[in-house]
């Protein structure tokens, strides 16, 4: 287990290095600089700014300097927001994204699995059909359409919630729903099909023949085996949701990290682009890492070092 | 049941709980303490939206309209812009101007003080201006040129004059500031209300280089103090009891959400969460303007502001190096149709470059000199195109691409105009949207044929629009070069006679638009907003900048 984790960790560092390097050079390759506006900056001022931010040095030197700071854990100062630490801005704006994201994740996993289970148990019955129609709708309707729709109905017309903002507990409700519906639908379908497959498997028949009661069969055999595809999906989904949905955040006026990322690119805020990219990278890799470990916990058949016998 | 699957869930939640603890520590104290949204009317609490977080709260670094709105709440210069658009006493209670118009002596009021109770002194102004101009300031101030009117200001900024004592700013005593200008400049007094001219608290700035990056380390001298700053989410200001004119400030708080969505902003206005929506702080989406107008006829406002929307010809590239071809393109579109059907905000069709709202000699420049420099005429345009093509020896026009920065509004205008060219001239023009920085980069480096452009006044004089077309000006993206034009403007810049200056500038504008058709004016901007009927006292100046300090609910 330790060896497995260590090697995974090394791979993560390597991926991170590649990510940082690729982003750095791609970012420098796009036209523009952080000091642009409709009114042109005077050449001597621009030169001074480039010098002050170290942007007039050879690109290789800038790159090495950036890596050096990164190793020290220093993401630098934003080039757009005066005197503000990149890490602080990321922390500040990640917080709302994360809070909403966690709610959305928990709700989508619980509701999705329950819905999928029920549908599988009542296969081809009315409940199954209804659940699956809802699921198909959930997948088919883009989240921004749904977000606008529920905002219009529940906030504007009925006045139950604020249209925008992130101040009160009730401000969580609409964005969480908007974020959760698609994953719920996806997880429900995933759970249902994988459960159906398991329910028809020989070992379930064996279990039944052995005379195990339904509850034990469900928990010990069906769910445990049927949940694997869901676990695979949940890892990336989690990373996806907590990194913030630009569109949902925009519609509900939540100052999350999604907008910071998009704005940083528009502003050519180099340090911020790098900071958020690396932060996203770490999140995604952590999510995959956790998924890998969960696999093993859920299904002992998957050996940690299964690829090459240990 | 499902013990294992619950374990899975728990593990996930805990993993991200840890992350929350690691990353979410620190400063998101989102709680806006007990504001009752619906009690806004009686409570004198104003709710607005800003579509972007101000990148700075340091007057020396400010350069955009969001920062302008924020700083106007927090600072006051020597003068303020009054309701009629003219400078009224601010920190300075009176001033004397020398005969030759070069020397201004400002007398600061005794009761002007900082939010910590210290008096605002002449030294604070001198120090603030030195900071803006000094080549050592980090990061360099992009708006330093706003202070080039001051004697040796430009030279000091460029490092040619080393000692700030040689710059025309002199602290006579604690409450007297003497400013010497490089040239007599009639509109300079108005500039002292502009953010680059705001004072800063010398002690505070010297003690803490990061003073402007946290709400509680800022010391300001305006009507409001910044009290809440939740990154990317919300800003809130509270009335400053130490402000010398606190008696005329009626609002208790101003709260700004930071939402970059016109649709959400409009919905929030409809739901009552916002008291003000639209320009210059936010936006009413173009496609919602008819609905807004219909739903709130008494709250909808479309005010002309001193900005011009135009297309820039690349005068060095084919085919727009030819005058007749430029004229043909400019004369073959229907501007009225564009503002009526596409932009919808009551914009004014433009046939000149200087917009209404800019002062002339006695009245507005645009009233004194009409913009009748050319007329739309599709048939004439077609003839001109044929002549132009003949002059250049074309049998068919080279391929033409119009570039604009990605935005739905610009796209609609571009498509409408391309369609008019197709119908009226029979010319197919490709339209291409480009991401903002890419677009600016292309425009500045001359890598375009026709490009969208817009220009907003820096100060209230036609010169703010005209000097950018002089040879060598950093904003002359079209690379326009006309000796006669330059001579007229230099004449105007040196002259003290306002009537003659206006005459010179109108002649120059005629050369620019009528004779050379160096660019294609499209419309003069308006600022579209929704204001709650009981919200009064908001001042919007000629350039569209907004001042909420004297706003109040009736």
Rounded Cα distance between B160 and B183, Å, is 18
For an interface test with B, the pick among A82, A116, A217 (most B C-beta atoms closer than 10 Å) comes out as A82
Whose structure tokens read 């005794």?
B110
Q: Say yes or no: B19 contacts chain A, CB-CB below 8 A.
A: yes
Model pTM score:
0.87
- Parallel, antiparallel or unpaired: strands B348-349 and B169-173: unpaired
Nearest CA in chain A to B454: A38
Q: Residue B213 in contact with residue A84, Cβ under 8 Å?
A: yes
Cβ atoms within 10 A of the Cβ of B208, count?
A: 13
Q: Name the maximum alpha-carbon separation found in chain A.
A: 86
For helices A59-71 and A2-29, give the axis angle rounded to 10 degrees.
150
- pLDDT tens for each residue of A216-272: 888 888 888 888 888 888 888 888 888 878 889 999 999 899 889 999 999 999 999
**For residue B390, is pLDDT > 90?**
yes
Strands B45-49, B253-257: pairing kind: parallel
pLDDT at res. B3: 43
The chain A residue lying nearest B24, using CA atoms, is A95
Name the average pLDDT for chain B: 90
Helix (H, G, I), strand (E, B) or coil at A267: coil
Candidates A96, A163, A178, A260: best to mutate against B (most CBs of B within 10 A) is A163
- Distance of CA A33 to CAs A46, A129, B16, B53, B432, Å? 10, 55, 35, 20, 21
In the three-class reduction of DSSP (H, G, I as helix; E, B as strand; rest coil), residue B453 is classed as strand
Query: Which helix or strand (DSSP H or E) is residue B494 part of?
Result: helix B483-494
Which of these ranges, A130-144, B206-220, B366-380, has the smallest mean pLDDT? A130-144
Residues contacting B321, CB < 8 A, separation 6+:
B315
Nearest-Cα distance to chain A for B261, in Å, is 6
Contact criterion met (CB below 8 Å) for B474 and B438: no
Interaxial angle between packed helices A173-199 and A143-150, expressed in degrees from 0 to 180 and rounded to the nearest 10: 130
Nearest to B228 by CA among B210, B216, B220: B216
- State how far the Cα of B125 lies from the Cα of B59, in Å rounded to an integer: 12
Beta bridge partner(s), residue A275 = none
In this structure, is the dihedral angle defined by the CA atoms of residues B25, A257, B273 and A105, taken in order, positive or negative?
A: negative
| Other C-beta atoms lying within 10 Å of the C-beta of residue A59 | 12
Beta-bridge partner residues of A167 = none
pLDDT at res. B186? 86
Token pair in block for residue A294: 């969960």
Percent of chain B scored above 90 by pLDDT? Answer: 84
User: In the predicted model, what is the mean pLDDT of residues B102-131?
Assistant: 96
Query: What values do phi and psi take at B88, rounded to 5?
Result: -120, 160
Chain centre distance of CA B413: 21
Give chain B's domains with CATH numbers.
46-50+222-299+532-553 (3.40.190.10), 76-202 (3.90.76.10), 307-527 (3.10.105.10)
Poorest-confidence range of A58-62, A219-223, B276-280, B422-426?
Answer: A219-223
Q: How confident is the model at residue A200 (pLDDT cuts 50, 70, 90)?
A: confident
Tens of pLDDT, residue by residue over A206-218, are: 888 888 888 888 8
Can you name the residues that pair with B48 across neighbouring β-strands? B256
Mean pLDDT of A48-67: 93
Instruction: Report how many Cβ contacts below 8 Å link chain A to chain B.
Output: 219
What is the spatial distance between Cα B378 and Cα A132, in angstroms, rounded to a whole number? 60
Using a CB-CB distance cutoff of 8 angstroms, which residues of chain A are in contact with residue B307?
none
Model confidence over B85-113: pLDDT tens digits? 889 999 999 999 999 999 999 999 999 99
Interface test with A, best of B10, B12, B410 (most A CBs within 10 A): B12
pLDDT band at B29 (very low <50, low <70, confident <90, very high): very low
Is B15 in Cβ contact with A52 (below 8 Å)?
no
> Residues B442-457: what's their mean pLDDT?
94
Q: Please give the share of chain B, as a percent, with pLDDT higher than 70.
A: 92
Q: Do A162 and B27 touch (CB under 8 A)?
A: no
Q: Which two tokens stand for residue B127?
A: 């120090």
* CB-CB contact of B440 with B467 (8 Å): no
| The pLDDT value given to residue A4 | 78
The residue written with tokens 């209804």 in the block is A130
pLDDT > 90? residue B462: yes
Each residue's pLDDT tens digit, A272-291: 999 999 999 998 888 888 88
Q: What gap in Å lies between CA B537 and CA A87, rounded to an integer?
A: 41
Q: Residue A212: what pLDDT? A: 84
Residue showing tokens 């101000």: B54
Give me the residues of B, 447-486, that contact A with CB < 8 A: 453-456, 474-475, 477
H helix intervals, chain A: 2-29, 43-52, 59-71, 86-121, 126-140, 143-150, 173-199, 202-210, 214-216, 224-226, 228-242, 246-251, 257-266, 270-298
Q: Which H/E stretch holds residue B444? A: helix B436-444
pLDDT at B8 over 60: no
Tokens of B194: 């502009």
Give per-residue pLDDT as tens, B145-198: 999 999 999 999 999 999 999 999 999 999 999 999 998 888 999 999 999 999
DSSP label at A164?
S
Tokens 């905002």 correspond to A151
| Measured torsion, CA atoms of residues A82, A86, A90, A93, in degrees rounded to the nearest 10 | 0
pLDDT over 90 at B419, yes or no: yes
Can you give the length of chain A in residues? Answer: 310
The enclosing H or E element of B225 equals: strand B224-230
The Cβ of residue B329 has, within 10 Å, a number of other Cβ atoms equal to 29
pLDDT per residue over A153-170, tens digit each? Answer: 999 999 999 999 888 889
pLDDT band at A303 (very low <50, low <70, confident <90, very high): low
- What residue ranges define each of the domains in chain A, with the CATH number in brackets? 2-71 (no CATH), 86-298 (1.10.3720.10)
Whether the predicted pLDDT of B23 surpasses 60? no
For chain B positions 361-400, those within 8 Å of chain A (CB to CB) are none
Cα–Cα distances in Å, from A136 out to A115, A139, A189, B218?
Answer: 13, 5, 8, 54
Spatial distance between the Cα atoms of B419 and B413, rounded to a whole number of angstroms:
10
Instruction: For the beta carbon of residue B383, count every other beta carbon within 10 angstroms.
Output: 12
């Amino acid at each position: 287990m330790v060896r497995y984790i260590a090697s995974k960790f090394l791979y993560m560092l390597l991926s991170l290095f590649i990510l940082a390097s690729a982003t750095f050079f791609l970012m420098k390759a796009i036209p523009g600089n952080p000091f642009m506006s409709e009114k042109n900056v005077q050449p001597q001022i621009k030169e001074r700014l480039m010098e002050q931010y170290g942007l007039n040095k050879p690109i290789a030197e800038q790159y090495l300097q950036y890596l050096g700071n990164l190793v020290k854990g220093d993401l630098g100062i934003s080039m757009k927001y005066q005197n503000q630490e990149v890490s602080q801005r990321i922390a500040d704006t990640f917080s709302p994204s994360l809070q909403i994201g966690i709610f959305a994740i928990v709700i989508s996993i619980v509701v999705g699995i329950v819905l999928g289970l029920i549908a599988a148990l009542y296969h081809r019955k009315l409940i199954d059909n209804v659940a699956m129609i809802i699921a198909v709708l959930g997948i088919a309707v883009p989240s921004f359409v749904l977000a606008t729709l529920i905002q219009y109905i529940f906030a504007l017309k009925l006045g139950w919630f604020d249209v925008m903002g992130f101040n009160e507990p009730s401000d969580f409700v609409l964005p969480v729903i908007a974020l959760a519906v698609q994953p719920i639908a996806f997880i429900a379908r995933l759970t249902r099909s994988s459960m159906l497959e398991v329910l028809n498997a020989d070992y379930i028949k064996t279990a039944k023949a052995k005379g195990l009661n339904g509850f034990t069969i469900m928990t010990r055999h069906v769910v445990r085996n049927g949940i694997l595809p869901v676990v695979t999906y949940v890892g990336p989904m989690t990373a996806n949701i907590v990194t913030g949905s630009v569109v949902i955040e925009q519609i509900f006026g939540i100052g999350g990290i999604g907008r910071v990322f998009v704005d940083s690119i528009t502003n050519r805020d180099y340090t911020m682009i790098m900071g958020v990219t690396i932060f996203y990278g770490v999140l995604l890799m952590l999510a995959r890492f956790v998924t890998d470990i969960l696999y093993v916990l859920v299904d002992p058949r998957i050996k940690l070092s299964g690829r090459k016998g240990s | 049941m499902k013990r294992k699957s619950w374990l899975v869930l728990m593990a996930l939640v805990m993993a991200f709980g840890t992350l929350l603890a690691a990353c979410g520590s620190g400063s998101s104290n989102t709680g806006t303490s007990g504001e009752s949204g619906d009690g806004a009317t009686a409570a004198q609490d104003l709710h607005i939206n800003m579509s972007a977080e101000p990148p700075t709260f340091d007057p020396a670094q400010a350069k955009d309209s969001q920062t302008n709105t924020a700083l106007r709440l927090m600072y006051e210069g020597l003068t303020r812009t009054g309701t009629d658009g003219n400078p009224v006493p601010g920190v300075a209670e009176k001033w004397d101007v020398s005969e030759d118009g070069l020397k201004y002596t400002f007398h600061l009021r005794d009761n002007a003080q900082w939010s910590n109770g210290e008096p605002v002194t002449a030294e604070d102004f001198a120090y603030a201006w030195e900071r803006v101009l000094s080549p050592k300031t980090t990061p360099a101030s992009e708006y330093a040129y706003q202070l080039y009117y001051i004697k040796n200001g430009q030279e000091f900024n460029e490092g040619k004059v080393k000692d700030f004592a040689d710059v025309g700013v002199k602290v006579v005593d604690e409450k007297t500031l003497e400013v010497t200008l490089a040239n007599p400049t009639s509109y300079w007094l108005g500039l002292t209300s502009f953010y680059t001219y705001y004072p800063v608290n010398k002690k505070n700035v010297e003690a803490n280089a990061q003073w402007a990056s946290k709400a509680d380390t800022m010391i300001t001298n305006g009507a409001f103090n910044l009290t809440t700053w939740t990154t990317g989410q919300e800003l809130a200001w509270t009335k400053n009891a130490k402000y010398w004119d606190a008696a005329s400030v009626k609002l208790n708080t101003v709260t700004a959400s930071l939402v970059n969505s016109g649709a959400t902003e409009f919905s929030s206005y409809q739901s009552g969460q916002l008291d003000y929506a639209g320009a210059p702080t936010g936006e009413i989406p173009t496609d919602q303007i008819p609905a807004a107008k219909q739903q709130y006829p008494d709250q909808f406002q479309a005010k002309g502001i001193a900005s011009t929307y135009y297309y820039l010809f690349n005068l060095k590239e084919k085919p727009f190096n030819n005058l007749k071809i430029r004229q043909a393109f400019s004369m073959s579109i229907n501007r009225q149709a564009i503002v009526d059907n596409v932009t919808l905000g009551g914009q004014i069709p433009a046939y000149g470059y200087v917009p209404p709202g800019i002062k002339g000699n006695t009245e507005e420049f645009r009233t004194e000199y009409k913009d009748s420099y050319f007329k739309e005429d599709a048939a004439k345009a077609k003839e001109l195109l044929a002549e132009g093509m003949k002059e250049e020896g074309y049998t068919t026009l080279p391929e033409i691409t119009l570039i604009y920065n990605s935005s739905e509004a610009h796209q609609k205008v571009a498509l409408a105009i391309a369609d008019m060219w197709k119908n009226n001239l029979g010319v197919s023009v490709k339209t291409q949207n480009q991401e903002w920085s890419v677009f600016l980069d292309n425009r500045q480096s001359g890598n375009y044929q026709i490009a969208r452009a817009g220009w907003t006044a820096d100060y209230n004089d036609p010169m703010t629009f005209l000097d950018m077309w002089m040879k060598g000006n950093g904003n002359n993206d079209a690379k326009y070069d006309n000796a006669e034009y330059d001579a007229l403007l230099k004449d105007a810049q040196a002259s003290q006679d306002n009537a003659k200056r206006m005459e010179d500038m109108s002649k120059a504008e005629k050369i620019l638009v009528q004779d050379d058709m160096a660019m294609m004016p499209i419309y003069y901007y308006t600022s579209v907003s929704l204001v709650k009927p009981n919200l009064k006292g908001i001042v919007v100046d000629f350039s569209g900048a907004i001042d909420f300090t004297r706003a109040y609910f009736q």
